[in-house]
Structure 1
Amino acid sequence: MTTKANSEKTVLVTGGSGFIAVHCILQLLQAGYQVRTTLRSLNREAEVRAMLNEGGSKASQRLTFHEADLSADAPWDQVVNNCTYVLHVASPTPIRNYKHEDEMINPAREGVLRVLRASRDAGVKRVVLTSAIGAVVYGHPPQTAPYDETNWTNLAGKAPAYQKSKTLAEQAAWAFIEREGRGLELSAVNPVTVLGPVLGPDYSHSIHLIKNLLTGKMPGCPKINSGFVDVRDVADLHLRAMTHPAAKGERFIATAGESVWLVEIARILKAHLGQDASKVNTRELPNALLRIAALRDPMVKSMIPLLGRVMNTTSAKAIRLLDWSPRSTEEAVLATAESLMRLHLLDQ
């Protein structure tokens, strides 16, 4: 579609300060769209504009900011008015010290339904929901075959609360479309661990993995397996899912390729960054050591169910249906490290 045609369409991106959202806004502006984005507080507008500027965006006249919170109905009807598409990227932040898992589950589910209801009532054509791999791979017996879009996290299994919230929010979205969508279209993107260029001091939790390796904060690598994907490719997949006819009613896993063990990530840094990776430890930590550490560290405790498990997924569907072509895991890892160093974020 031409840039001129895009210039007549408005796209709403919810949660504009988020790592994935900022990259979505960059690519939408580059493609010529009018863009609206929401923030819980407009106090963060300057910060988001600074990140967009770092990403090379000069098209600020086509971008407007709106204050909206997923926990309240108002003013979603006004925010989505006259929008052709909505990228619902915003998600409640994981709560560390919750008393009950519903503290995470209910806001995630209610937030999705608010955005979908407002989008339907405003005549939006399609919503793309940023879900997560957490809605796909948890609560299953160990398997070596890659997980795909037909898999759903088994809520009867031992899924952590945040992953449960992502699963239930996505399931609620599909149920809404089926029962009361009245023609509103939905696609979902389920990214694995998201890396890639950081544009400012506010970045996703997954970036801390690379930061902790580079600063020597990780004394070694737990035997954990994950897929990785570059945020620029996640944003690109959102735009493809937004407009491609084949994406209607479909979910798409976003991964760069085969899953890898964390020690392989450490080795990539070591092999390519020379002196800048001098603090990276490529030793694999024994599982027994982590089990002892888990007794006093809740963060380590959350890793225990993942130790030694292969978490392989496939993006064959996105590649086949949407002609998506992601960067390699190595490129994503190195882009993360280089941006952290360039913006002097390792010492913060």
Structure 2
Amino acid sequence: MSCDNSSKIIFVTGGTGFIGFQVLVQLLASGYSVRASARGKKFDLLRNIFSNYKNCDVVDIPDIFSDDLSDVLRGVYGIIHVAAPLPGAESERTIRDATQGSLHILNAAVKAGVGRIVTTGSAVTFPAGGPYGPNDWYPITREDAEHTNNGSVYLLAKKLTDQVFMEFSESHPELNISILGPGLTFGPFAPGFEQLLPEPNYTAFSSNAYFYALLRPDNVHFPVHLQNGAIDVRDVARAHLLALESPPAPRKRFAIVSPHQSSYKTALETIAKERPALKHRLADPSKAPVWPSYTLNVNREKVEQVIGFKADSYIPWAQTVVETIDSLLAVERYWKAKGFHVEVPSTSPFPFTVSKL
């Protein structure tokens, strides 16, 4: 992508998150002008990180799902919507943000004349075992979510968000809407991300927290949904940028999952080989779960055809593993240099495990 992208303003939600921050960095590296939303303490942190970028404007939006967006969307070329309700949040608010909140953003885009929208879904909103077409959905209902744990509420919220975007794209064919559902996302933090973590906050690691748990010898927290495949966060962000500029097409909803087998056992063996100084910190590879496959049989050729993400360009699992661990250790050193006690948590990184996938 060339530097003449500077005339294109991209509005990004969720820019302080693991995936969203990577999207911001790749947009800026590709020459786009960026308008990123943030709130509370993270507004000042994000603004300071990008203070030297003339083409990056950070705007304070307390609630992206309900606040007036007319000013921030003025002159915007495209929207990359990464913000999402957090796992474990109160269920009624989670569902409301997923549905009415998504509609709020979409209606604001129409009113502002924004024609290109990319949103981050999740691979687990597709049926377990496939198929992975735009009309295929994981069979969870509101009733299921009401009678199970917060993991099901979160899964339902992601599914409903995707459906809102799909239905809106059908009623507004003039919009170029893409819905990308990444698998479990790992990868090194984009440069500067550590500045969003002025003190230890392991939840902010997002799914990388499961990798961080590998650095605890007695770790037993291996999320079952890795059997649905993984993807490097840099590939997730790259897919968003490609989808943003891809030609219009009906029902652009894809699961994006690396074709590389991505098991925790292999990850632990790779770390031990490539970073032998960490052997004393590693969990026991024999405790890692074993499944028949560690990826999904998605139609990557279709993804390449529609958005231009080449099927043979996914970052290899071993590279993701080593560079993620290096990145986590860099954050460790950053915190320790500030005088904080740092220890890999013994509890699960998230308060639930989606067990029905």
Q: TM-score, normalised by structure 2?
A: 0.78
User: What displacement does 1:150 show?
Assistant: 5.0
The within-5 A match list for 1:245-260 is 245=247, 249-260=251-262
Aligned-pair CA distance for 1:266: 2.1
Give, as a single letter, the amino acid of the residue that structure 1 aligns with 2:10.
V
Aligned to 2:3: 3
Does 2:329 align with 1:341?
A: yes
Aligned partner of 1:293 in structure 2 is none
Change (3 A) 1:260 1:109: same
* Secondary structure, counterpart of 1:281 in structure 2: coil
Counterparts of 2:279 and 2:134, CA distance in 1: 36
Asked if the contact 2:11–2:80 (Cα under 8 Å) also holds between the matched residues in 1, the reply is yes
1:90/1:285 CA distance change after superposition, 3 Å: same
| CA deviation profile, 1:238-279 (whole Å, cap 9, x unmatched) | 000000116664123222214543323222222221122322
SS state at 1:344 partner: helix
1:254/1:278 Cα in 2 relative to 1: closer, same or farther (>3 Å)? Answer: farther
C-alpha deviation, 1:186, in angstroms? 0.5
Which residue identity lines up with residue 109 of structure 1 in the other structure?
A: T
Residues 1-348 of structure 1 mapped to structure 2, 5 A cutoff: 2-4=2-4, 6-41=5-40, 43-48=41-46, 60-70=53-63, 73-95=66-88, 98=90, 101-137=91-127, 140=128, 143=129, 147=132, 149=134, 151-156=136-141, 160-179=152-171, 181=172, 183-198=174-189, 199-200=193-194, 201=197, 203-219=204-220, 225-245=227-247, 249-285=251-287, 312-313=295-296, 314=298, 315-321=300-306, 322-324=308-310, 325-344=313-332, 347=342
Whether the 8 Å contact between 2:46 and 2:58 is mirrored in structure 1 is no
TM-aligned CA deviation for residue 158 of structure 1: 5.9
Aligned residues: 313
1:323-344 per-residue CA deviation (whole Å, 9 max, x = no partner) reads 4322012211211100111232
Are 1:226 and 1:261, in contact at CA under 8 Å, matched by a contact in 2? no
Please report the RMSD computed on the Cα atoms of aligned residues, expressed in angstroms: 2.9
Change (3 A) 1:112 1:95: same
**Alignment check: 8 A CA contact 2:18 2:206 kept:** no
What CA distance in whole angstroms lies between the structure 1 residues aligned with 2:205 and 2:331?
15
Q: Tell me how far 1:311 sits from its aligned partner.
A: 6.3
Deviations 1:192-222 (A, max 9, x none): 1111112313644211111111133514757
The Cα of 1:2 is off from its aligned counterpart by 3.0
Aligned equivalents of 1:153, 1:34: Cα separation in 2: 36
SS of equivalent residue, structure 1 residue 186: strand
Tell whether the 8 Å contact from 2:27 to 2:241 is kept in structure 1 after alignment.
yes
Task: Describe the shift of the 1:282–1:135 C-alpha distance in structure 2 as closer, same or farther (beyond 3 A).
Answer: same
- d(CA) in 1 for partners of 2:286 and 2:47? 40
What is the CA distance between 1:30 and its match in structure 2?
A: 1.1
Separation in structure 1 between the aligned mates of residue 18 and residue 59 of structure 2, nearest angstrom: 18
In structure 1, stretches of 5+ residues that fail to align are 53-57, 288-306
Is 242-251 or 187-196 further displaced after alignment? 242-251
Counterpart-to-counterpart distance in 1, 2:246 and 2:78: 12
Whole-angstrom distance in 2 between the partners of 1:311 and 1:136: 16
Contact 1:133 1:253 in 2 (8 A): yes
Cα distance in 2, alignment partners of residues 49 and 68 from structure 1? 13
- Retained in 2: the 8 A contact 1:227–1:256? yes
The residue type equivalent to 2:165 in the other structure is A
The 8 Å contact of residues 226 and 259 in structure 1, kept in 2 or not, is answered as: no
Query: What stretches of structure 2 of length at least 5 have no aligned partner?
Result: 146-151, 336-341, 344-357
Letter in 2 for 1:2: S
Alpha-carbon distance between aligned partners in 2 of 1:122 and 1:131, rounded to the nearest angstrom: 23
Q: How far did residue 113 of structure 1 move? A: 1.2
In the alignment, the residues of structure 1 paired with residue 175 and residue 61 of structure 2 have an alpha-carbon distance, to the nearest angstrom, of: 21
Give 1:296's aligned residue.
none
Judged with a 3 Å threshold, the aligned counterparts in structure 2 of structure 1 residues 37 and 222 are, in CA distance, closer, same or farther, namely closer
Deviation at 1:149, TM superposition (A): 4.9
Distance 1:221 1:250, change over 3 A: closer
CA 268–317 in structure 1, closer or farther in 2 if over 3 Å, else same: farther
